[in-house]
Amino acid sequence: MGEMVSFKRPDGSEAQGYLAKSDGARAGIVVVQEWWGMNDQIKGVADRFAAAGYTALTPDLYEGRVTQSPDEANHMMTGLDWVGATEQDVSGALNYLKAFCGCDTAGVMGFCMGGALTIIAGVKLDACDVAVCYYGIPPVEAADPANMRAPFQGHFASRDDWCTPEAADGLEAALKSSGVAYEMHRYEGEHAFFNETVPPYDADAAALSWDRTLGFLGRHL
């Protein structure tokens, strides 16, 4: 099990996060929350990374707020400064992993809102060494995937009405022009198929995507 830690954002202010350490790990991963907040499910993903040999840090983007209400989650997500969250909280988490946790390399991965933030990180943050995105795409004005800097892996669903198959195709077209190494994986299922606490959960797709995620990180971190 992990622990809550404080870390510095580039602007000098303090942020909080959930840290799951793996003894002797030389690679780290920033795990970015869904719109629900930093709940037990996303902490569990960090714990799974630690069990797989990575030190994982989940920044608390909502500063302690967590919800199970889609309306409230949408309100909190809409109120979030996405670029600011990436350039401050996610950037600070990457720096913390490298400066204080013994990580030579560190990547960013996230789900839904966190997947969109992962794309912004891969475009804007030099410290992001790899990006793994689950069913999230930011507005192009926030970050153009054609400018992706990090090796990128994407996981998208065939019946997703938020990150539609057409949107995923557009993302892939932009990634082709970026010149980075990338993989795009598509699954029969719905948005949030990885999250075991919600009805769209698909155990087979979740297991396959997890294996692909660990394989990709193993090759690029």
Q: Is residue 173 classed exposed, middle or buried when 0-12, 13-18 and 19+ CB atoms within 10 A define those classes?
A: exposed
Give the model confidence (pLDDT) of 84-100 as tens digits: 999 999 999 999 999 99
C-alpha closest to that of 86 among 41, 51, 136, 48? 136
Q: What was the pLDDT predicted at 1?
A: 81
pTM of the model: 0.98
Q: Where are the alpha helices (DSSP H) in the chain?
A: 40-51, 70-79, 82-84, 91-100, 113-124, 165-178, 203-220
Q: What was the pLDDT predicted at 151?
A: 98
Domain 3-220 annotated CATH 3.40.50.1820: yes
Alpha-carbon radius of gyration of the chain: 16
What tens-digit pLDDT sequence spans the chain (221 residues)?
899 999 999 999 999 999 999 999 999 999 999 999 999 999 999 999 999 999 999 999 999 999 999 999 999 999 999 999 999 999 999 999 999 999 999 999 999 999 999 999 999 999 999 999 999 999 999 999 999 999 999 999 999 999 999 999 999 999 999 999 999 999 999 999 999 999 999 999 999 999 999 999 999 99
Contact yes or no for 51/91 (Cβ under 8 A):
no
